[in-house]
Each structure stands twice: as structure tokens, then as C-alpha cells.
Amino acid sequence: MNTMDNLEKQLICPICLEMFTKPVVILPCQHNLCRKCANDVFQAANPYLPTRAGSITSGGRFRCPSCRHEVVLDRHGVYGLQRNLLVENIIDMFKQESSSTKPEPVKKEEMPMCEVHKEEKINIYCVTHGVPTCSMCKVFGAHKDCEVAPITSVFQTKKTELSDGIAMMVGTNDRMQGIISQLEEACRSIEENSCRQKTQLCEKFDHLYTILEDKKREMCQKVTAEQEEKVNYIRGLTRKYGDHLEESCKIVETGIQTMEEQEQAVFLQATKPLLQKIAEASSIAHLEKVERGYENMDHFSVDFRRERQALRSIDFIQDEDVEDEDGETELSDAAVTEAGRISLLAQARVLLPLPAPDKSETLFFKSNV
């Protein structure tokens, strides 16, 4: 009988808590339900779906009462679930075996006794206080002025009420699970959107870095070009002055040698052309001279106060700033690359007011190249 008892426990429906009533349907999670119980659970989970003849005919979903696995139905509703013929055959075999075997006497459960009147069984229900009690309590005891009812009728009412409450809770739990799924999906969407926005933000900052690097290289090239021009000019003058100095040194050397000449006639013959060369070499007026301040490069100084303020004011677009994609205040990539040279910083100089001059920053970029 232990084997039969264990088998009977396996054939109990988790909804009605009785042996499966055919037809028995098998869920995708491999748990079984009476088709009627499955329909009751489905109606409780989908109270707003259209019904016909007491059963839901359109598709929907509910959760298995045993494992909470979500069961999705097609347009046939619970009638589209596969019947478990194996379980139905086992039920038939079990009933046949049970009927052929003499049942053991079943000990009838004893009714609970009243705590106040120890010898009285609890056989009525106090409606006023909502507790079961005995007849003596109604006649002589604490419930003599209360409204009472037969315990059997109250039992059926409360059982129906509890069954309805369980079905309602099953539906509520399904709806709560749906809300949880929506919240989890919202979290995933937030993470994906945040990742996408950060990627776009980094790309735009990289574009700004590229503009700044290009502008820095361009301005440095201007400084380098003028540096090379001035240095080459100075070196050219240095060579000219060097050549003149070398020629003067040769004349001085020749003059010293002439001074040592003892023959007067020879000395006088060499003196005239030598004095002429000395006169010519002593004059440097014909050589170019460097203008005062020629080496100064201050005209390449820069003032980035406006640009610095523009960079510090970089922020996300506000709702009122997105009314028109072609608005005059919006800085687009096309505007940045227009004519190949217009930069984002140049636009920022127009958009932002110039702060009060700072005595520590008095240099301006005014290249003459």
C-alpha cells in the first residue's frame, strides 16, 4: 500500500488538490494539470480576454503553479495544450487497482473539541467574531448574543472564498512578474542608451581634439616659417660681414708687410693702392643692417580667453535648444568643416561674450605672415 500511496500522491493536481480529472494536459515545463484547473488559472491570470462558453479561446499566458514557468498559449487557449495520455492511463489503472483491492479502514478524523467546554465538539460558526465554536458557547457562553451559522455552510463559503483569493493572487503574481520584466528591460535599455551616448560623446570630443591639433600645427608652422626666414636673412648678413672682415684682415696684413719695406721707392709704389683699399674697406655703409626689433616674435602671441570660456561652457543640449536642427546656435559637423578651415573654436568666439581684460593676459595673435 505504500507504493500505491506514493503513486496516488503523484497523481494529485496542484490546483484542486484532488486526483487528476481527465482530460489531463501537460505543460511545456512537463508538469500536469486538469484541463479544467488549467482553464481556471488561465482565466484568473487573463481576466480581460474574451471568453466563450466559460473558457478562453484566444491566445494568452499564465504561469505553472508548480514551478512558475511561463506558459504561452496559442489561439486555441488551454485546448491547444497537449493531453498527457500516459498519466490518464495510469489514473485508470490506479482506480482499477484500487477498486479490486479491499480498502483498509480509514480512521475518521476527529472533530476538534471546544477549549471552554471540553466535552463539546466545535459544530457551529460564530459569524460575529468569525471563529468556529460549540453549541454550549452559543447557549451559555461568550457567543450567546452572536450570530451563528452551520459550520458546513460556512465551510463551503470560506473554501470558495479562499479558492477565489488564490486565483486572484496567481493573477496578481503574474502581473507583478510582468512589471519586474518591464523594469529589467528598462534597466537594459538605460545601460545601452548610456553606452551609445558615451560613445558619441567621446567621438565628438575626439573631433574637437583633432581640430585643436590641426590649428596648433597650422599656427606653429606660421611661427616656424617666419623664424626660418629671419634666421636665413641674418645668416646671409653674417656671411657678408664675414667676407668683408676677411678682406680687411688681408689688407691689414699687407699693410704690416709694407711697413717693413726698406726700399723707399718700392714702399711708395705699394702705398698708393694699399691706402685706396684701406679707405674702401673702412666704409661699411654699403652693407645691410638689421632693423631694431627685427628678432622680436611677439606678434605671434595668442589670447585664448574666449576659447577657454567656450570650452568651459561645453554642456549637454537642453530641451529648448533642440527645437530646430538647423538653428543658428547649433554647431554641426558640417559647419565645423565648411570651407575646410572654419573651426568650432572660431564659432565659439562669436557666440560667447569677451570677459573683462586680465592684466596677466595682454597679448593678441596678429600674425603679419
Domain harbouring 47, CATH code = 3.30.40.10
d(CA 71, CA 65): 10
Which three three-digit cell numbers place residue 267?
714702399
Q: What 3-state class would DSSP assign to 4?
A: helix
Phi and psi at residue 70, to the nearest 5°: -75, 130
Q: Count the Cβ atoms, other than its own, within 10 Å of residue 27.
A: 20
List pLDDT tens digits, range 159-198.
888 888 888 888 888 899 899 999 999 999 999 999 999 9
Question: Does residue 223 fall inside a structural domain?
Answer: no
Total count of domains within the chain:
3
3-state secondary structure 200-259: HHHHHHHHHHHHHHHHHHHHHHHHHHHHHHHHHHHHHHHHHHHHHHHHHHHHHHHHHHHH
Contacts of 2 by beta carbon, 8 Å cutoff, 6+ apart: none
pLDDT at 261: 82
Same domain, 96 and 60: yes
Point out the domain boundary residue: 84, 100, 116.
100
List pLDDT tens digits, range 127-152.
888 888 887 787 667 787 888 888 88
CA-to-CA separations, 127 to 3, 144, 150, 359, in angstroms, rounded:
44, 12, 10, 93
Task: Confirm if 44 and 170 have CB atoms less than 8 A apart.
Answer: yes
pLDDT at 119: 73
Question: Does residue 336 fall inside a structural domain?
Answer: yes
List pLDDT tens digits, range 275-316.
888 888 777 767 788 888 888 999 999 999 999 999 999 999
More confidently predicted of 28 and 59: 28
Question: Does residue 220 fall inside a structural domain?
Answer: no
What domain range includes position 346? 296-316+331-369
